[in-house]
Amino acid sequence: MATHSLSSLPFAVFTSHSHPSKRHLSLPLTSLYGNRLLLQPSTPFVIKHHSSVTTATVSLSLPTAKPDRTPSEKSPKWSSRSIKSFAMAELEARKLKYPNTGTEALLMGILVEGTSQAAKFLRANGITLFKVREETVNLLGKSDMYFFSPEHPPLTEQAQRALDWAVDEKLKSGESGEITTTYLLLGIWSEKESAGHKILATLGFDDEKAKELEKYLNEDIVMNYK
């Protein structure tokens, strides 16, 4: 019975009827010659892992157009869900290849994050990520397929005002705690001429629903996803 031992090129071929010989073969790995094919690497592979230390800084604030707020106003921090919603908004803007992060992207970001009271309220009222994305393309159109968005698409003026509205309203409330995604959603709604507001209105959101949502201003966590 002939046995063939295959190593890395050149191959060493051994049979029970002849002495070892070396040949240069160019055979597909799926080709089988003889009764048994043994694959043995001629040299061992050594994989070296280089450990490194990565330091990440997580910011608890979002961009603002009002950096001159008086020191007496202790600026509240954004909730982790708001921060993640903002990050997802930037990603959604990049997916659509838009040059800026607008109110429509902020709205999609809230839905992508998905675990906040604001996101739950939107879904309960039939406002889903798929619908918002579809309305965004209908309203703003598709970007050039060869255009590449920046890593962090800058905010539009309307999106920036929506963020600042959320901070201002939190300060006015006098309530302690973080700025939730509900503030962010109502900030989008406050920008009447923005794409985000128009998309919400198209999908059935109105002032009455905004008032209903206000009772969740200081709640930002939903344990179940519906």
Q: Higher-confidence residue: 2 or 204?
A: 204
What distances in angstroms separate CA 91 from CA 65, 129, 173, 225, one per listed residue?
22, 13, 31, 22
**For 21-25, 55-59, 184-188, 208-212, which range has the lowest pLDDT when averaged over its residues?**
55-59
Residue 221's pLDDT band (cuts 50, 70, 90): low
Nearest to 192 by CA among 201, 180, 183: 201
Cβ–Cβ contacts within 10 Å for residue 163, how many? 26
Residue 143 banded pLDDT, cuts 50, 70, 90: confident
Structure tokens at 223: 């344990």
Residue 96 confidence (pLDDT) above 50: yes
Residues 63 and 87: beta-carbon distance below 8 Å:
no
The winner for highest mean pLDDT among 21-25, 49-53, 152-156, 157-161 is 157-161
List C-alpha distances in Å: 140 to 47, 104, 129, 153, 200. 50, 10, 16, 16, 14
Describe the crossing of helices 129-140 and 103-113 by its angle, rounded to 10 degrees.
160
pLDDT over 60 (residue 197): yes
Q: Is the pLDDT of residue 136 over 60?
A: yes
Whether residue 190 is predicted with pLDDT greater than 50 in this model: the reply is yes
Higher pLDDT, 7 or 83: 83
